[in-house]
Structure 1
């Protein structure tokens, strides 16, 4: 009963937001998890609460119809209230109705003698009759067919076509071990195929990505979390798109890199793997030799090659734990203290180190007390990854939220436009802040959004604001990737005859180069989430690669 109770609170709150015309943003998964924390519910039920709530929420309009067309429901509820001295919450009944009609087992998850199970089972004949009526009205045979029809999509389920994972180089260290584990994983499948599409419906196939090293795709039915490599932290689940920013930056072992919006930490751990393992292995004569971090040459400040920023307390802890699990030694860096006052130190001199900066990147160097400390510490960093908060329009698990928001299309459109404008302004200001750091020579900007206002428009705004910066050209930004910036995103910057640029200081040729420098991954079409990335470099002849 605990699962139904907890799910009721979350479902009721979600519906209240919708009825109050509040825009519900984010994926269903993240919304439910955040509300689970908000209501301080028992974590041991989270998985079941999530499954129960998300399925009922997706089927909400169907269950509304089934419930509203029940005969004598008010009298039956009054009778139950008289017998038990309490009346069940409507949304608790919704959750049970969903389990009875649409779950895999088609039964209410309660003991047979529970009064609510008996009550809902008593309604089953009427509910099934109403479901048949609903099917005829909407000309559908299954609930998935109805969702497909509502979404206007070719797939009934809002999930990725394949699952991606990569080797965690930090746990493998030597080239011999990397090659051994890679081959061991491949040998676990009957076929190694040359396209991710081939693995989508085939558990026996694995695909090795041609653009990102040590990245693989397998069927969604393959249980990665149960395999030994995952349990040993030798592999990490990470979507294809989120690996692209690192490839654009061309990270090498002499770089100092900031991950400015780091939590939960997938890009950070990939970054650490590149700096501490991948790039050093490529320059070592003996592949079996174990990697050891280079000395920074300044023991007093102990400047690490990687620093990750996160201002939120809980997300900072998540980031810290993920880095430790991935094989790094971490140190929490408090922005209110000088280097000498920091309480946390690194204990293992041979470890692969990451500083976790528990603070807001956008305020970096604005602290008067530590201005000189910031200059000595942070101005040594020459590259940065920026993946700021975005609309998340490219991620999975949003279809039900978006459809419910669009019930009142006019209000949804107005609120969404306002929200996107604020996000775009924030994204531009954050990257702009990074571009002002004097030693920074390259940075990548990325989002899991498909919206032009958060992607190509931000790129143009930054270049106009910072004429001393330019995009990293296509020839250096994963040139084999074909899907680039949208033509439509740059149309407003070009004259009607297509012969002149309307942007001050940016030529027509440069506009085309900017478009080609932008990278897009389309949701589903490219095997994962919708993603955008673009690299920038300072206009200096001495640019580091």
Structure 2
């Protein structure tokens, strides 16, 4: 089947250093990149185990036309995966001839190493860590539907709704077809880890956005009221942009910039599917955008999520659990760029509120950039204290850094993330600094609306 051939090609490319695993997956032209990525990651994680089983069973000696990388993918599916998807094509009868031998060698390996579970065969660096336990967060796109209608839809599909979660432990304990409402974000549903909704009709229709909880924080904390003019400075792939549009209720204007034409084209497709109509896309370097341009004279809100090391990304933690941290040289180059773009954003004359975020764990890209930008700004800006109950705060590297947020699989059950909210000083009174508005608490369970509900699409259109 094409899936297994594509997975084998990616594994060979990674081994031959032709690119990163994720880059090779997206360059493969395989239609379902999420499915391919998951298969390749898991096969690679068990690579040493699979090599040992294949060698002991003599599979490659018996099937001389079977290439090693393809054999590894097929044996993973047979012994450790979901079985042959779509029937397995011509590979299923080939592997069936060796199935008993392969299973016997896997069992022998467990006995030899004194373990009972497949997971225990892995080396320490390859075992699933906290990143693998992060739930599947699903943001309801309020431009097209509402949370209670989506909840009803899933309940009709046999899912069990647990209401609003009261703790991270409740989210961590979700299993099977149980799901809940997030304890902080009122439009965020939470499913068990590894739940795959890419083929779900509501996702394909743009009613659902598959977006990590930490990635939802920037737009939520920027909180532009409907009618505002907003800049999304480094916008692709577009999840945060679509979230901004939902908060604006498509009323106002989002100026979204990105230099990567391919990513911008994918973003345009995402925004169209999500029903976003208030966004103006530009293939342009945000640093080249003039703050004095009259088109941006009314921009009071900026979301800045610049290029970063990505050291907090869940996909990287799962793909390379023992990866080395970014080099000092790379961090120096990235932080210099991030500081430059943040200072540029703070120079827009009408700016009142800005959110700076990264999916990095590194102080150089986070607290250090925010500290230097505030010190160097010619206008009076200050950090805003936000979400006082959030358990993971900024590193204590300068006064006020505790107002920033950090996120991680261990502390917040999300991807690794950093968020800082910056406001023009004169718009904050001493009282407002003490009580910066935060999102209203979500009632539990989601209340039934008295007005007639919008219809939720049941097909992928």
- TM-score interval, smaller chain: 0.7 to 0.9
Alignment-derived partner of residue 149 in structure 2 = 181
Which of 350, 356, 363 aligns to 2:288? It is 363
Alignment-derived partner of residue 430 in structure 1 = 341
Alignment-derived partner of residue 73 in structure 2 = 95
Deviation at 1:386, TM superposition (A): 0.7
Aligned mates of 1:15, 1:183 — CA distance in 2: 44
Q: Is the 8 A contact 1:100 1:108 kept in 2?
A: no
Aligned mates of 1:164, 1:261 — CA distance in 2: 23
TM, length-normalised to structure 2: 0.78
Alignment-derived partner of residue 387 in structure 1 = 305
Q: Are 1:8 and 2:8 counterparts?
A: yes
Which of 42, 66, 69 aligns to 1:55? It is 42
Alignment deviations for residues 101-140 of structure 1 (CA, whole Å, 9 cap, x no partner)? 322337996556x6x964x556556645553454345433
TM, length-normalised to structure 1: 0.67
| RMSD of aligned residue pairs (Cα, Å) | 3.7
Deviation at 1:151, TM superposition (A): 4.2
Alignment-derived partner of residue 403 in structure 2 = 517
Aligned mates of 2:80, 2:213 — CA distance in 1: 33
Aligned mates of 2:89, 2:244 — CA distance in 1: 50
Aligned mates of 1:181, 1:518 — CA distance in 2: 34
Q: Is the 8 A contact 1:247 1:478 kept in 2?
A: no
Q: Is the 8 A contact 1:379 1:440 kept in 2?
A: no
Aligned mates of 1:326, 1:517 — CA distance in 2: 32
Alignment-derived partner of residue 486 in structure 1 = 395
Q: Are 1:452 and 2:444 counterparts?
A: no
Alignment deviations for residues 181-235 of structure 1 (CA, whole Å, 9 cap, x no partner)? 3774697645314335324424575443343333332334766556665455344
Deviation at 1:322, TM superposition (A): 1.7
Which of 433, 437, 442 aligns to 2:353? It is 442
Which of 394, 411, 416 aligns to 1:530? It is 416
Q: Is the 8 A contact 1:248 1:478 kept in 2?
A: no
Q: Are 1:419 and 2:330 counterparts?
A: yes
Alignment deviations for residues 467-520 of structure 1 (CA, whole Å, 9 cap, x no partner)? 63433321xx23342421123xx2xxxxxxxxxxxxxxxxxxxx332x221111
- Point out the more displaced range, 443-452 or 388-397: 388-397
TM alignment of 1:343-354, pairs within 5 A:
353-354=278-279
Number of equivalent positions: 426
Q: Are 1:145 and 2:120 counterparts?
A: yes
Q: Is the 8 A contact 1:521 1:531 kept in 2?
A: yes
Which of 259, 270, 282 aligns to 1:311? It is 259
Q: Is the 8 A contact 1:160 1:524 kept in 2?
A: no
Aligned mates of 2:60, 2:197 — CA distance in 1: 46
- Name structure 1 gaps, 5 residues minimum: 81-86, 173-177, 278-292, 294-303, 330-352, 366-370, 406-411, 491-510
Q: Are 1:212 and 2:185 counterparts?
A: yes
TM alignment of 1:31-110, pairs within 5 A:
31-36=23-28, 41-43=29-31, 46=33, 49-69=36-56, 80=64, 87-105=65-83, 110=88
Q: Is the 8 A contact 2:3 2:30 kept in 1?
A: no
Q: Is the 8 A contact 1:473 1:516 kept in 2?
A: no
Q: 1:91 to 1:541 in 2, by over 3 A?
A: closer
Q: Is the 8 A contact 1:522 1:531 kept in 2?
A: yes
| SS of the residue 1:17 aligns to | coil
| SS of the residue 2:392 aligns to | coil
Which of 134, 140, 143 aligns to 1:167? It is 140
Q: Is the 8 A contact 2:298 2:350 kept in 1?
A: yes
Q: 1:269 to 1:46 in 2, by over 3 A?
A: closer
Q: 1:184 to 1:438 in 2, by over 3 A?
A: same
Aligned mates of 1:305, 1:72 — CA distance in 2: 60
Alignment deviations for residues 263-314 of structure 1 (CA, whole Å, 9 cap, x no partner)? 221211221222236xxxxxxxxxxxxxxx4xxxxxxxxxx52111122112
- Name structure 2 gaps, 5 residues minimum: 437-461
Aligned mates of 1:161, 1:210 — CA distance in 2: 15
TM alignment of 1:252-267, pairs within 5 A:
252-267=225-240
Q: Are 1:376 and 2:294 counterparts?
A: yes
Aligned mates of 1:255, 1:130 — CA distance in 2: 64
Aligned mates of 1:217, 1:482 — CA distance in 2: 19
Aligned mates of 2:177, 2:204 — CA distance in 1: 21
Q: Is the 8 A contact 1:66 1:127 kept in 2?
A: yes
Q: 1:136 to 1:420 in 2, by over 3 A?
A: farther
Q: Is the 8 A contact 2:134 2:413 kept in 1?
A: yes
Q: Is the 8 A contact 1:167 1:182 kept in 2?
A: yes
Q: Which has the larger radius of gyration?
A: 1
